[in-house]
Amino acid sequence: MKLKRIGILTGGGDCPGLNAVIRSIAKPAMSYYNATVIGIIDGYEGLVEGRHRELTPMDVLGIINQGGTILGTSNKGDPFHFPMGERNNIRIVDASQQVVDHYRNLKLDALVTIGGDGTQIIAHKLAEMGLNVMGIPKTIDNDLDATEVTFGHDSARAVATEAIDRLQTTASAHHRVMVMETMGRYAGWLALGAGLAGGADIILIPEIPFSWDAIFESVLKRSKGAKFSIVCVAEGAKPSGGGVSVRELDKKRTDPVRLGGIGELVSKRIEDETGLETRVTVLGHVQRGGSPTAFDRILATRFGTVALQAMSNGQFDVMTSLRQNTVITVPLADAVGRQRLVPPDSQLIFAAKAVGTCLGD
């Protein structure tokens, strides 16, 4: 297939590695295919509103190590659930036909959608409307199915691990319990990986509802020996019989629920029930920022180059995927059918328990 005009957008939350993907598609597309690369500004929001610019070789020069995205992104631009109006006068409309019209007006041969589950669900719907779409999996949560790992996850995990390292020294100095809340939404990969790498004493993830008594018993036991404890809790963790902690609802988002607050709750309950001095740190968007790790730079580049090759062979309505250290393509329908959660028999869980980590169960 002749690829003369390729559109690229980054959707959902930002993360390290997005620019590496943009670079890995744009450079060979311009060099080997003599193609025009159109950058869609601010994700699907820009595609609905017709905001875009043509990328040049200079635009993608030296960006492999830059965090964020040179194109901008948005998690409130779902064309099938598009917010219109201002503040208290928001109405939700279906603007998908505007996307199709802009795609055709730009005379695109293909559209590359770089993002997580929400971005790829939209991509699959657009493919069903006749657009040539190629998905590339991105999320720090690592919760996208049909791939063993998404780019961005390793970088966020490295940031969270370093945070635990730093919290451990101050926790030890003051004989405190330090609670650290990570992102991850409904998947515990980030908290579990960082907690295991950082030697956290308690790790709480969404897949394992926790017992308050198990937490209290663990920190009290450590207070008699090590005299400090590190608790790594995912934002979607919840107690047995309870629900997730919700920070706010935003109807402009496809998923209006914004999680947050479980770290503060765990910290307060530990201090109230055990009398141990406890502090909480919420990493928040620190996990999304900064330069990508070497792993994410390489994976992002592999994803982008394979995506371009697959599009030239006429493959669409598919997503790049890492399987057994090989990048392949899989149907988008397979990728968005369900979330990739930490399984009960995960070796990470086994390893954590083997070294004495409390998982709250």
The yes-or-no answer on residue 141 being catalytic is yes
Instruction: Check if the beta carbon of residue 189 is closer than 8 Å to that of residue 349.
Output: no
Q: What's residue 257's pLDDT?
A: 74
- Average pLDDT on 156-174 reads 97
Q: Which CATH number fits domain 5-151+292-335: 3.40.50.450, 3.30.200.20, 3.40.50.620, 3.30.1130.10?
A: 3.40.50.450
Residue-averaged pLDDT of the chain: 94
- Tokens linked to 274: 């055990």
Question: Distance between CA 334 and CA 306 in Å, rounded?
Answer: 18
| Res 280 pLDDT > 80 | yes
Cα angle for residues 43, 47, 52 (degrees, 5° grid): 85
**pLDDT per position as a tens digit, 34-91:** 999 999 999 999 999 999 999 999 999 999 999 999 999 998 889 999 988 777 788 8
Q: What's residue 84's pLDDT?
A: 85
Question: Distance between CA 179 and CA 201 in Å, rounded?
Answer: 10
Q: Where are the domains of the chain?
A: 5-151+292-335, 157-288
Query: Quick one: which of 124, 76, 70, 130 has its CA closest to 100?
Result: 130
Q: Do domains 5-151+292-335 and 157-288 have the same CATH topology?
A: yes
The CATH number of the structural domain formed by 157-288 is: 3.40.50.460
Q: Which of 14, 109, 141, 317 is catalytic?
A: 141
Q: Please tell me the pTM assigned to this model.
A: 0.94
Question: Distance between CA 168 and CA 351 in Å, rounded?
Answer: 20
Q: What's residue 251's pLDDT?
A: 67
